[in-house]
Amino acid sequence: MAGWVSTLIQGVLLGGLYALFAMGQSLIFGVLRLTNTAQGDFIILGSFAVLSLAARLGVPALAAPWLALVILLPLAFAAGYGLQRLVLNRVLGRDPLPSLVVTFGLGIVIQNLLQEIYSADPRFIESGGLNDASLALGGGLAVGTLPLLIFGVAVAIAAALHGLFTHTAIGRAFRAVSDDREVAELMGLDHRHVYALATGLAFLLVAVAGGLHGMKTTVAPSDGPALLLYGFEAVIIGGMGSFLGTLLGGIILGVTQVIGFRFDPGWGVWLGHMVFLAMLLLRPAGLFPKTR
Amino acid sequence: MSLLETRRLDGFYGDFQVLFGVEVTAEPGEIIALIGANGAGKSTLLKTVCGLLGARRDGVVFDGAPIGGLPPGEIVRRGIALVPEGRRLFPSLTAEENLLMGAFARRRGPFTLDAVYRLFPALAERRRAPAGMLSGGQQQMVAIGRALMTNPRLLLCDELSLGLAPVVVKQIYDALPEICAGGLTVVIVEQDISAAQRVSGRLYCLQEGRVTLTGPSQRVTRAQISQAYFGV
């Protein structure tokens, strides 16, 4: 019994990481209706950026990645804003294909760039033993400190995004531009700026996801597409445009995968895909869809 | 000087010309009506004035300044607001949030959230309802309120009566004098000729993209309107 409880907890915590991968995707799709095929690659780029910066900061390994992350956040926002304003705004339109192709190309560029700079070997962000630490929960159960932390961050981010969208002026602007871009312009909103703010915000999330992911597991330049897939599945299961839905979608995916792993190591990811396909067949809009 | 003046205005949807040399003026504080059959170009004219469709820079002159072809955001900041045909509220937002969207234009004036609720008391109880759950009349009130929240000097109303019961249309047009009390200039596009004549001081009739009649609303005869409307 304790075995199954432990499995469930691991699944939930893993789900937090998947939800983190998916948050940026959910945000961008909710506001811009754009599918960023390079989402996973940007996360890996974030991991490598934190890795390199942390190694050069000259502070103890326990603090280095966190400091690196804090330094990188404004850069990530600027990169997202710039990318949207200068590149992606030009390919957004009724046809979803141009943006898919452009982001796909970006993904390839990022993968190859990372491979050039870092070689194809998996790398790891030193976190001063954080990834080995665990917390005893009683009853013989223990959870990894880092997975728990990641889950906490995912919940906090989902709640923060939900609050931003429902209670702030910029949240109203995001929702209005997503509903009816033309009428939003009539209200004085510049959709190019609002879109760019959304992407900038999404890149903040990407940087956080990248940093945390790299502390938990080894990362390699070609890892991006797998992260895109998990994030995408989490968003579809949970429902596009709903951040709490994305969190739940991630958790469902994580639990499913871990249960699959328990039966057979080859079944983990596969079972997750099956649940994803079942959701597409039974309820394509996801559990809590907000975006039409 | 007129507040709004269109000069030999041509309007296009892509390559398709819809307006031919349209000349319309609105003096400060006036309520003018645009009437005409479907496809005559009434909505196109409003969309051109508020920047949703392009035009020659000096084709539309507002308060002496040429504004043709400027982006809609720039035009709303100068003081022109549109109540779009079919309301076009934001479905993801509540009634109140829709009204608050008008505040993004950041213009000062008498129209605050409270002022809009005083104007349309029925909205105050439904302020937290999602826009899609409101009745047609309430949606129209929100659409008008949203435009008023930008504190415009010129309000363009596209087919306020569309899809609404006559008693509701009357309710909405009855609010117009109060809306204009502060000197607001209004251009209404209307299919309902009686309502247009009753509410406006002057009217223009459009037919196939051209002005075919203009005159004081109370003095223009039905016969003249028929002729100008249908071109027979």
Report whether pLDDT(B90) > 70: yes
pLDDT above 80: residue B59: yes
Q: How many whole angstroms separate alpha carbon A123 and alpha carbon A119?
A: 10
Classify residue A5: in a domain, yes or no. Answer: no
Residue A16 lies in a domain: yes
Return the pLDDT at A1.
65
Residue B232 has a pLDDT of 66
Closest alpha carbon to A275 in A287, A264, A265, A263: A287
- What letter would DSSP give residue B130? B
Kindly state the average pLDDT of the residues A238-263: 91
Q: Which residues on chain B place their C-beta less than 8 Å from a C-beta of chain A?
A: 50-52, 71-73, 76-77, 81-82, 84, 88, 90-93, 97, 100-102, 104-106, 146, 150
- Which residues of chain B does A190 touch, with a Cβ-Cβ cutoff of 8 Å? 71, 73
Judge whether A288 lies within some domain. no
> Which pLDDT band holds residue A253 (cuts at 50, 70, 90)?
very high
In percent, how much of chain A has pLDDT > 70?
98
The predicted-structure confidence for B91-106, as pLDDT tens digits, reads as follows 999 999 999 999 888 8
Residue A58: pLDDT band with limits 50, 70, 90: confident
Pick from A173, A179, A189: CB nearest B73: A189
The answer to ipTM > 0.95 is: no
**Domain span at A26:** 11-128+142-282
Residue range A178-205, pLDDT digits in tens: 999 999 999 999 999 999 999 999 999 9
- Mean pLDDT within B45-65: 93
Residue in A179, A182, A187 nearest the CB of B104 = A187
- For chain B, percent of residues with pLDDT exceeding 90: 69
Q: Which residues of B touch A178 (CB under 8 A)?
A: 92
Look at A8-22, A60-74, A91-105, A129-143 and tell me which has the smallest mean pLDDT. Answer: A129-143
Distance from CA of B225 to the nearest CA of A (A): 32
Interface of A with B in 161-180 (CB under 8 A): 169, 172-173, 175-176, 178-180
Interface test with B, best of A170, A186, A290, A292 (most B CBs within 10 A): A186
| Stretch among A69-78, A123-132, A178-187, A189-198 having the lowest mean pLDDT | A123-132
Indicate the number of domains in chain A. 1
Mean pLDDT (whole number) for B136-160: 94
Q: How far apart are CA B100 and CA B97, in angstroms?
A: 5
CB contact under 8 A, A188 and B106: yes
| A189/B104 CB distance under 8 A | yes
Chain B contact present for A199, CB below 8 A: no
Question: Which one of B73, B97, B150 has the shortest CB-CB distance to A172?
Answer: B97
A290 within domain boundaries: no
Q: Is A282 left (phi over 0), alpha (psi -120 to 50) or beta?
A: alpha
**Which residues from chain A sit within 8 angstroms of residue B99, using beta carbons?**
none
d(CA A95, CA B189): 33
**B147 membership: H or E segment, kind and range:** helix B136-148
* Band (A292; pLDDT cuts 50, 70, 90): very low
Nearest CB neighbour to A187, from listed B71, B76, B91: B76
Predicted structure pTM score: 0.90
> Bigger pLDDT: A205 or B108?
A205
What would the pLDDT profile of A204-246 be if each residue is shown by its tens digit?
999 999 999 999 999 999 999 999 999 999 998 988 778 999 9
The continuous run of DSSP H or E covering B212 comes out as strand B210-216
Mean pLDDT of chain B: 91
What average pLDDT score do residues B151-176 get?
A: 90
Instruction: Give A187's contacts in chain B (Cβ within 8 Å).
Output: 76, 101-102, 104-105, 146, 150
- Does residue A135 lie within any of the structural domains? no
Compare all CA atoms of chain B with the CA of A166 and give the residue at the minimum distance.
Answer: B93
A-chain residues near B102 (CB < 8 A): 187
Write down the pLDDT at residue A157: 96
pLDDT for residue B88:
93
How far is the alpha carbon of B223 from chain A, nearest alpha carbon, in Å? 38
Q: Give a yes or no: residue A1 inside a domain.
A: no
Given pLDDT bands bounded at 50, 70 and 90, which one contains residue A132? confident
**Does position A2 have pLDDT exceeding 70, yes or no?**
no
Q: Nearest CA to CA, how far is A180 from chain B (Å)?
A: 7
Confidence of residue A3 (pLDDT cuts 50, 70, 90): confident
Task: Tell me, yes or no, whether A273 lies in a domain.
Answer: yes
What's the average model confidence in pLDDT over A268-286? 90
- Over range A3-15, report the average pLDDT: 89
| Phi and psi angles of residue B173, each rounded to the nearest 5 degrees, phi first | -70, -25
CATH number at residue A92: 1.10.3470
- Within 8 A of A183 by CB-CB distance, chain B residues are 84, 88, 90
- pLDDT of A291 higher than 60: no
Q: In a mutagenesis test of the B interface, which of A162, A175, A187, A242 is the best target, namely the one with the most B β-carbons within 10 Å?
A: A187
Does the distance separating the beta carbons of B76 and A180 come in below 8 Å? no
pLDDT tens profile B177-215: 888 888 899 999 998 888 899 999 999 999 999 999 999
Position B72 pLDDT exceeds 50: yes
Q: State the Cα–Cα distance between residues A290 and A242, nearest whole angstrom.
A: 6
- Please give the average per-residue pLDDT across A249-272, as a whole number: 92
Q: Which of A186, A189, A292 sits opposite B82 (nearest CB)?
A: A186
| Listed residue (A6, A27, A3, A7) closest to A247, CA to CA | A27
The verdict on a CB contact (< 8 Å) between B72 and A176 is: no
For residue A3, tell me if it sits in a domain: no
Q: B97 contacts in A (CB within 8 Å)?
A: 172, 175
Q: What's the pLDDT at A260? A: 92
Q: How far is CA B73 from CA B70, B100, B116, in A?
A: 8, 16, 22
**Residue for token pair 């968003």:** A235
Which residues are CB-contacts of A257 (< 8 A; sequence separation ≥ 6)? A11, A14, A268, A269, A271, A272
Query: Is residue A16 a contact partner of residue A251, using CB atoms and an 8 Å limit?
Result: yes
